[in-house]
Structure 1
Amino acid sequence: MAGTEQAEQPDQLSVVSTTTDGVRVLTLAGEIDHHTGDRLRRALDTSGVPRPRVVLDLGRVTFMDSSGINLLIAAHHAVTGAGGWLRLAAPTEPVLRTIRLVGLDTVIDCCPTLHQAISA
């Protein structure tokens, strides 16, 4: 499974979806905010997938606001409700600061590397 949505402007969000060892990996680049939320929401849709396992690679995300936090919480609930899991990988310093500030790292596993998130 592979697909790509490229960012149209530098402040937009690109999403590349791949599968590694049965884990859906969404590699994000750009900003996660109210302007890019729909793109991320579509990428996170796992409806109809039994026991989804999803990793978000945040290593190229430069900014995330509260709408991004809300999307991640909703995705976490949907994925865990279906018997799967969601993990965050390699967040940049500004994104990690936001994740820690709101305590999201106590709800969703946050790993320092993509490899650790996939194999944890």
Structure 2
Amino acid sequence: MAEEETTGGADAGKPGGLTVTTATADGVRVLTAVGEIDHHTGGLLREALDAPYAPRARIVVDLGGVTFIDSTALNIFIAAHRDLDDAGGRLRLAAASDSVMRTLAIVGVDTLIDCRATLAHALGD
């Protein structure tokens, strides 16, 4: 993967902080999130997902390093999914921990957005 950019707030690397790294792998934009995605940190993920992308863009969010999500994250994922779908692209979520996957499943986000067990599976067609 070719790394492009890392963003993080003042609390990145601390409990409750978030870091988002953007890279490209075989034409797929991969966002790797580490930390917690909530109303304090969600702006970083939203900015990374809102970055200009070409029509039919494919984006994968690697959640392997995410320890907590709240409704902010769910809303960000749903909005990004809709925007990408409208542009002929797609959003996939990858490598969510059991607790994060449970949150996605409780509200049905896993039935709206393609969730894969690993980043490698998410990068495949």
Q: 2:28 aligns with which of 11, 23, 28?
A: 23
Which residues in structure 2 correspond to 1:71-82 (within 5 Å)?
Answer: 71-82=76-87
RMSD of equivalent CA atoms: 1.2
Rounded Cα–Cα distance in structure 1 between residues aligned with 2:120 and 2:42: 26
Deviation at 1:12, TM superposition (A): 0.9
- Conserved in 2, the CA contact under 8 Å of 1:46 and 1:79? no
Q: 1:92 aligns with which of 94, 97, 110?
A: 97
TM-score when scaled to structure 2?
Answer: 0.91
Give the SS at the match of 1:16. strand
Deviation at 1:75, TM superposition (A): 0.4
Instruction: Please list every run of 5 or more consecutive structure 2 residues that lacks an aligned counterpart in the other structure.
Output: none
Match of 1:2 in 2: 4
Whichever residue aligns with residue 19 of structure 1, its letter is: T
- Conserved in 2, the CA contact under 8 Å of 1:56 and 1:87? yes
Number of aligned positions between the proteins:
120
Give every structure 1 segment of 4 or more consecutive aligned residues whose post-TM-superposition deviation is greater than 4 Å: none
Instruction: Please list every run of 5 or more consecutive structure 1 residues that lacks an aligned counterpart in the other structure.
Output: none
Match of 1:116 in 2: 121
Rounded Cα–Cα distance in structure 1 between residues aligned with 2:53 and 2:101: 30
Rounded Cα–Cα distance in structure 2 between residues aligned with 1:21 and 1:52: 12
Describe the superposition over 1:52-73 as per-residue Cα deviations: whole angstroms up to 9, x where unpaired.
1000000010000011100000
Describe the superposition over 1:78-97 as per-residue Cα deviations: whole angstroms up to 9, x where unpaired.
11111100000010111001
Whichever residue aligns with residue 15 of structure 2, its letter is: P
Which residues in structure 2 correspond to 1:41-60 (within 5 Å)?
Answer: 41-60=46-65
Give the percent of matched residue pairs that are identical in Structure 1 and Structure 2: 53
Deviation at 1:3, TM superposition (A): 0.4
Name the CA shift for 1:58/1:48 in 2 (closer, same or farther; >3 Å). Answer: closer
Match of 1:64 in 2: 69
Deviation at 1:51, TM superposition (A): 1.1
Give the SS at the match of 1:2. strand
